[in-house]
Amino acid sequence: MPELAFSRRTVLGGLGAAGLSAALTGCGVPAAYIPEDRRGGPDRSDADKSVAFANWPLYIDTDEEDETKRPTLDAFAERTGISVRYSEEINDNDEFFGKVSPALMNRQETGHDLVVVSDWMAARFVHLGWAQKMDRSTQANVAGNLDPQLRSPAFDQGRLHTVPWQSGITGIAYNRKALGREIKSVKDLWHPDLAGKVTLFSGLDESFALLMQGNGVDVTRWTESDFHRMCDQVEAMVKKKHIRRFTGNDYTSDLSKGDVLACQAYSGDAIQLQADNPDIEFVVPEEGAELWAESLLIPNLARHKANAEALIDHYYDPEVAAELAASVNYVCPVPAAREILAGSEDAETAELAENPLIFPDGDMRKRLAVARDISAAERRPFAKRWNGIVGL
């Protein structure tokens, strides 16, 4: 599924939450932030056994013989009696934000009970007060099975408002046979034999953490000086024409065709890339790599909050999480699902339990970090600096 990660983790556009808030305030619109006690509304879950769930395309399990059927959703409906109105309508984080922000700004319903967005976008919702706090007393599976490494990102301490849907790693993919050597470090990307054969992600949120880690930065607490040092380094490489270009979802084809030999890449794509070409390898650099998530959240005034919470908890049952992981091949946020897959009678499915790109082992986990998100105050100047480099 090479296109999938990039249709979700897309280039950051627009002003961001800070810019939006400032622009609207300047037009006489009330401040965007919604206090915790004003985010909910009448919950119709008991009277209306349904839930509206918006997700990205091709980001859920489907029946092999009938792709319109989604076994894990069907199992939830059968077990609980709650029907799921599932839509694949999120194709871009900023596009979706622009679609629902007028309603949220004006304290109106969005028509969605549950949505999946990248964590850097989830941070906007949380900082604006546009995501409801979940009732963990009804979510025993989430409380007991969520990956400890994903439990408390800086933007949502304790995961009170968000829960990972799937996770992944931003690392380096390269063609070892064509390059003729190993890549072990981010610094290896700058070796002269890769001049004109390297690509980086064009999106600021997608690219910055790995590049900072290459400079030895602790990305859980990076600073403005860390950011500008990274930008100086990348800018110099662009001017030397060492970096071929900045990419979106087309990096996979560049690597497959041999137009590039090494690139920033997502772990979820690596499994398919390696299936198509065994010479391609994915590496978590010695300095570390970013562990990210795309998360479920319940927007303000959702009509079926309790039903949405039940659906979230359903996906944290290890049996259900294993079924989903076997289909989408991203890092599973439920480590206990590994034992389920390992016990499968199907050999290919059982092998997934040993794949560190789905269930990172202990050594790999030591090199993974959840990066601090870019604050609202930082976003405008940082985006301007980064976009200027990408456009060189």
- The counts of H helices and E strands in the chain are 17, 10
What integer pLDDT is reported at residue 15 of this predicted model? Answer: 42
Per 3-state DSSP, what percentage of the chain is helix, strand, and coil (rounded to 5)?
45, 15, 40
Element containing residue 283 per DSSP (H, E): strand 280-283
Q: Percent of the chain, pLDDT > 70? A: 92
Residue-range domains of the chain with CATH: 2-167+293-357 (3.40.190.10), 168-291+376-390 (3.40.190.10)
What integer pLDDT is reported at residue 250 of this predicted model? Answer: 83
Compare 182 and 22 and report the one with higher pLDDT. Answer: 182
CA atoms within 13 A of residue 268's CA, in its CB half-sphere:
27
Report the pLDDT averaged over residues 195-200: 98
- Mean model confidence pLDDT for the chain: 92
Task: Give backbone dihedrals phi and psi of 145, rounded to 5 degrees, phi first.
Answer: -120, -5
Cβ count near 353 (within 10 Å): 20
What integer pLDDT is reported at residue 209 of this predicted model? Answer: 98
What integer pLDDT is reported at residue 9 of this predicted model? Answer: 42
Report the pLDDT averaged over residues 126-154: 97
**pLDDT exceeds cutoff 90 at 150:** yes
**Residue 80's beta-bridge partner residues?**
none
The dihedral through the CA atoms of 56, 58, 61, 65 has a sign that is: positive
Q: How confident is the model at residue 11 (pLDDT cuts 50, 70, 90)?
A: very low
Rounded alpha-carbon distances, angstroms, from residue 267 to 115, 135, 150, 197, 303? 23, 32, 16, 20, 35
pLDDT single digits (tens) 75-110: 999 999 999 999 999 999 999 999 999 999 999 999
Report the pLDDT averaged over residues 262-273: 94
Identify whether the C-beta of residue 358 lies closer than 8 Å to the C-beta of residue 196.
no
Q: How confident is the model at residue 392 (pLDDT cuts 50, 70, 90)?
A: confident
What integer pLDDT is reported at residue 261 of this predicted model? Answer: 98
Report the pLDDT averaged over residues 275-303: 97
What integer pLDDT is reported at residue 12 of this predicted model? Answer: 35
